[in-house]
Amino acid sequence: MAATRRNVLLGAGAAALSSVAPRAHAAAPTGLLTDVMANGRFVTYQPTAITAVDGKLTAASEESIRADLAVLKPHFDGLITYSAISGAERVPDIAREMGFRAVVVGVWSITDETERANAIAAVERNPSIIAGLSLGNETILGQRGNWGDVAYQIGRMRKRLPSVPLATTEPFAQYLDQSDARSTLATMDFLLVNIHPIFETWFRSAKAPNWADFVVRVAQRLAQVFPGPVLVKETGVPSGPESARFDEAMQDDFWRALEAQMPRSSARAFSYFSAFDAPWRANDASPELGMHPEEAYWGLFTEARVPKKVMADMPA
């Protein structure tokens, strides 16, 4: 998730892609996705019951997922998930039963055939609310594959689910700075991107309006190189830890600023990141990027589903 970022300044090297990548396929219909982008609210969601213990994921029960979604439902009508294993593959089923409008199904590992099969089955069970499918989360940044690998897996999935919008997820610099990204962008129906101002060198010298402006400008830049909808999957300011000089007021200030500066539209929108805190993630960052204790505090709610300050001002 968020800790796997580089300190990249907008414009420092974002010249590799300078024009829109032409589509290499007939685009899948994105009407449900863009409708919720323009008229609803997406939130990025991982079940609270899924944690890593000794490198292995625990499983989320349907009861636990329902409890999570009951907390989110008054404020959000769209979900973006990370994986289709460990119980997360049941999120679309439960979301449909509870009246959510849309789910973007995540597949963490593009090469895990079990996870791919789970995702396909979830889509086929719930066609009315599936807004898209994200194949891979930071596969390029995490060095778990290259752009050709991602494009190949998107092509395989398109043959199986030709009417489902497909994407992958990477930090913005991977899309903008790597020339190899262009051919993969041409295979995608929408773009999911992570844009985190807290990992920029200027973050501490700026204020919430500047942090939000950065996200808006990066999204605009991406729209110049990608012809479809651009949905910011991850952005935000964590609410802690206090030792790293983060707090709930900073988090609240960021989201209020971004809401003001980036009105929802069918072309560009953002998902709230993330639904719940995940304390276990503080020790889950990529080793080469070091420890990132803030990973535990991205949630709009705590891991116990208690709302933070940011939720007090968010209308139902």
Residue extents of the structural domains in the chain: 31-312
Query: Which of 9 and 28 is assigned the larger pLDDT?
Result: 28
Q: For residues 110 and 116, give the distance between their C-alpha atoms in angstroms, rounded to a whole number.
A: 7
Site of tokens 């998107």: 154
Q: For residues 33 and 199, give the distance between their C-alpha atoms in angstroms, rounded to a whole number.
A: 28
Residue 7 confidence (pLDDT) above 60: no
Q: For residues 254 and 236, give the distance between their C-alpha atoms in angstroms, rounded to a whole number.
A: 7
- The pLDDT > 70 percentage for the chain reads 90
Q: For residues 244 and 277, give the distance between their C-alpha atoms in angstroms, rounded to a whole number.
A: 16
What would the mean pLDDT of 10-31 be, rounded to a whole number? Answer: 66
What would the mean pLDDT of 245-263 be, rounded to a whole number? Answer: 98
pLDDT score at 20: 67
Q: In this structure, are residues 174 and 152 in contact, taking their beta carbons and an 8 Å threshold?
A: no
Beta bridge partners of 80: 44, 104
CA separation, residue 190 to residues 15, 74, 164, 185 (Å): 21, 26, 11, 9
Residue 108 confidence (pLDDT) above 80: yes
Strands 52-53 and 56-57: antiparallel
Site of tokens 């942090």: 211
Return left, alpha or beta for 231; rule: phi > 0 is left, psi -120 to 50 is alpha, else beta: beta
pLDDT score at 15: 47
Lookup: tokens for 314:
């968010």
What would the mean pLDDT of 184-205 be, rounded to a whole number? Answer: 97
Q: For residues 266 and 150, give the distance between their C-alpha atoms in angstroms, rounded to a whole number.
A: 25
Residue spans of alpha helices (H) in the chain? 31-39, 62-72, 91-97, 113-125, 147-160, 172-177, 181-185, 208-223, 248-261, 309-312
- On the question of a cis peptide bond just before residue 241, with omega within 30 degrees of 0, the verdict is yes
Length of the chain in terms of residues written? 316
Residue 241 confidence (pLDDT) above 60: yes
- Per residue in 266-280, pLDDT (tens digit) is 999 999 999 999 998
Residue 23 confidence (pLDDT) above 90: no
Query: What angle, rounded to 10 degrees, do the helices at 113-125 and 147-160 form?
Result: 40
Query: Of 4, 10, 17, 11, nearest to 176 (Cα)?
Result: 17
What would the mean pLDDT of 98-115 be, rounded to a whole number? Answer: 97
pLDDT score at 153: 98
Q: For residues 30 and 28, give the distance between their C-alpha atoms in angstroms, rounded to a whole number.
A: 6
pLDDT band at 285 (very low <50, low <70, confident <90, very high): low
Residue 156 confidence (pLDDT) above 60: yes
Strands 268-272 and 230-234: parallel
- The pLDDT > 90 percentage for the chain reads 84
pLDDT score at 290: 59
Residue 63 confidence (pLDDT) above 90: yes
Query: Which of 214 and 293 is assigned the larger pLDDT?
Result: 214
pLDDT band at 281 (very low <50, low <70, confident <90, very high): confident
pLDDT score at 26: 75
pLDDT band at 78 (very low <50, low <70, confident <90, very high): very high
Mean confidence (pLDDT) of the chain: 92
Residue 69 confidence (pLDDT) above 60: yes
Backbone angles phi, psi at 53, to 5 degrees: -125, 115
Reported as half-sphere exposure (CB side, CA atoms, 13 A), residue 146 has a value of 5
pLDDT band at 55 (very low <50, low <70, confident <90, very high): confident
Q: For residues 275 and 81, give the distance between their C-alpha atoms in angstroms, rounded to a whole number.
A: 10
| Amino acid of residue 24 | A
pLDDT band at 242 (very low <50, low <70, confident <90, very high): very high
Query: Which of 50 and 19 is assigned the larger pLDDT?
Result: 50
pLDDT score at 315: 85
Neighbours of 316 (CB within 10 A): 6
Q: If you classify domain 31-312 with CATH, what class do you get? A: alpha beta
pLDDT score at 289: 55
Neighbours of 16 (CB within 10 A): 15
